[in-house]
Amino acid sequence: MTTTPQTALPPDRVAFLDDLMARMTLPEKLGQLNLITTNIPVEDDKLAEIRAGRVGGMLGGLFPCTFGVNGPEGLRAVQEAAVRESRLGIPLLLAYDVIHGHQTVFPIPLAVSCTWDLDHVEVTARTAAREASASGLNWVFSPMVDIGRDPRWGRIAEGSGEDPYLGAQIAGAMIHGLQGDDLSSPDSVMACVKHFVGYGAPEGGRDYNNADMSPARLWDVYLPPFQAAVAAEAGSVMMAFSAVNGMPSHADTDLLSKILPGVLKVSDFDGIPEMIAHGLGDEAGQIVADDPLQTLSERALRAGVQMDMMGKGFITRLEAALAAGRVTMAQIDSACRAVLEAKEKLGLFADPFARFDPARAAQVILAPQHRQAARTVAADSCVLLKNDGDLLPLAKTGTIAVVGPLADDTKNVLGPWAFQGDPATAVSVLAGIRAVVGDGATVLHARGANITEDRRMLDLLNFAGPKVDLDPRTPEEMQAEAVEVARRADVVIAVVGEAAEMSGESASRMDIGIPENQRDLLKALHQTGTPVVLVTMNGRPLTLPWEAETLPAILVSWFGGCEAGHAVADLLFGDRVPSGRLTTSWPRHVGQVPLPYDRATTGRPGNPANDPGKYSTRCYLDGPSEPLFPFGFGLSTTVFAYGVPQVDAPVLRGDVPLTVTVEVTNAGTRTGVETVQLYLTDPVASVVRPGRQLRGFRKVRLEPGQTQTVSFTLTTADLEFHDQALNRTWEPGQFIIGIGPHSADLKTVSVDWLKD
């Protein structure tokens, strides 16, 4: 159950670090464990700490977000202080939250996962690395690989959805994109995988809340993306604020040693002192020296945490802990060595200023090829949920009404965690539509509504400064204008949804529908009789029961980044074909969540087709049990037909691989891109198993009438799970393989897989 350690340094570099550590004092070693936050220019007291060798790394502050914005000049002065003015000249780790692009802002990670395209994932990360490193950064707090199964949780926007198999694939691609083929290259940055572990399973969907789950679920669902990231040689991992099964990750000696050997382990912001609020003491449940921070700083070090982000306990408490014998010099040396090895792998000792190149910054930041990549990825992230009567694609003629509080928006379109993104560089949906249709159509516009009229929510969203713009007109006045515009149009494109700050950190929601005032606008637009194309801007799955029943077309655009407007217009008017597929199940009602596709069948499963609700089944009395849109779902503007899956052997023994093929045909009249998905079911096992599990996917582009044979290979590794003793195993028997366009529409074939 352990993870393979990472590649070792060459002997000469090991000797270099040995010599360096031999010359370091205890305060200098503890300084390497100290990660502080600042803005540019750096405050005098923090510069003094750097010159004294009491800082190992710095991250940009969030309020205001000025760290590294204007290229490498400001950061160079900080690195100069560390390298030229401290006794040993040890360079700094310079970090920032680069979540979905740096200054070229890509779609949010949840959206990018909906491309089901690992090349796209890697391109977004490589572009972010090039731009961030051109700003002088060498470390980014990305990717977030937490599995998210509760759409109430705001940080679901930052991850890759609900499936551990897909999440692991994306984690590996992100690491390779950020770190490149050579971590020491000036255009690479060290990744920091977060948040270890179970942070995506907070009770009630409330951010920072604790999680409680079976050990097997932890190992089978929440740990695989972290294991994949470590296998891809991620440079660092960040701990989670939350506790899982009663143990905060900052103190989880067992999991840190098993999953993260050879990886720099970093606390989250103030994460060590926040264990005080958990009510945690030392391993015996006691507080030493009447000082909770002393106690928990010592415990975190003993558990394996090697860098303290803003907690200040390592730098202020560990010297006394060493003197008292509660921590050892070996533990301090191990943590210090991990920080120094990360700096060595980044090439900082060879050339601490390799990333400070203003000419490269001017060349790569917001480069045309980066913006083109952002446009392509944004389009392929969008998911078409409904298209009755082939309303899409639209003609570039006639009169088009573009309505909604997010239609002419260049701020929220960037989404949460886009600190370096500039709204002045973003393209709104309205601007994108006008650019695509040109002079061929008349484009009308009306705001129609504010994003929300909920004053409590507005106060929370704007607590750190104005973020959500309000129109001074009354809701009735705005809606009346929108209705008048809709009546003059041949089609209405309604762009509605969330503000950026309604998703992301500290942005959990009880009601995950479109805000009520925006839904009122949609109902008024629908009553005009003009066809309405709904374009949602959102960072989470939304509940859309009325919209799905009533409106003819729905396109999910997420928060699509700086090129979102062009990307949405490309899809609406047929210049690109929709190909996104959901990576989260979309519930009908928030009362259904969590609703992952791989939930196990129960003893009284019910029949959703003819049993709408009965006390003796797991169905609801007041509605269907199944999601509105299942995992993997997404439409095209053409139609795909699947043949029956074929296997190369109905019976297998041992480690012999199985080849599964299926014929997929474009049975429509337009070119399309299909994501062919393979799911595996183990119908009889020693423990209750998931109803189905994703085990493969392939994207194929087909012309009208074209048929392609799609092939998958399965091995016994695809059959494995953790038993009750947490042994990873597979059991012989019959397995059902399903292939189709999404998790709820599969054609199946069975195989018998036996032990040797």
- The residues annotated as belonging to the active site are 268
| Cα distance from N-terminal residue to C-terminal residue, the chain | 23
Query: Do β-strands 264-266 and 236-239 pair in parallel, antiparallel, or remain unpaired?
Result: parallel
State both tokens at 298: 């010592």
- The answer to whether residues 226 and 236 touch, using CB atoms and an 8 Å cutoff, is no
The DSSP bridge partners found for residue 547 are none
Q: What does the radius of gyration of the chain's CA atoms come to, in whole angstroms? A: 27
Q: What is the sign, positive or negative, of the torsion defined by CA atoms of 610, 616, 619, 620?
A: positive
- Closest to 179 measured CA to CA, from 117, 230, 109: 230
∠ at Cα 120 (670, 674), nearest 5°? 30
Task: Return the structure tokens found at 85.
Answer: 């003015």
3-state secondary structure 568-618: HHHHHCCCCCCCCCCCCCECCCHHHCCCCCCCCCCCCCCCCCCCCCCCCCC
Residues 126 and 177 sit within 8 Å (Cβ to Cβ): yes
Helix (H) or strand (E) holding 265: strand 264-266
- CA–CA distance, 145 with 168 (Å, rounded to integer): 8
Q: Which of 178, 205, 180, 206 is nearest to 193 (CA)?
A: 178
User: Is 576:125 a contact under the CB 8 Å cutoff?
Assistant: no
Structure tokens at 566: 């062009």
CA distances from 314 to 56, 266, 293 (A): 12, 12, 9
b/e sequence 553-578, b meaning 16+ C-beta within 10 Å: bbbbbbbbbbbbbbbbbbbbbbebbb
> How far does CA 686 lie from the centroid of its chain?
34
CA atoms within 13 A on the CB side of 716: 17
**Closest among 399, 406, 488, 501 to 447, alpha carbons compared:** 406
Tokens 């994108």 map to which residue?
A: 432
DSSP string, 518-576: HHHHHHHHHHT-S-EEEEEE-SS--B-HHHHHH-SEEEE--S--TTHHHHHHHHHTTSS
Distance between CA atoms of 181 and 500, rounded to whole angstroms?
Answer: 34
Q: Which of 505, 489, 449, 500 is nearest to 473 (CA)?
A: 449
Supply φ then ψ for residue 731, to 5 degrees: -120, 140
Measured distance CA(427)–CA(447) in Å, rounded: 17
Please, are residues 32 and 100 in contact by the beta-carbon 8 Å criterion?
A: no
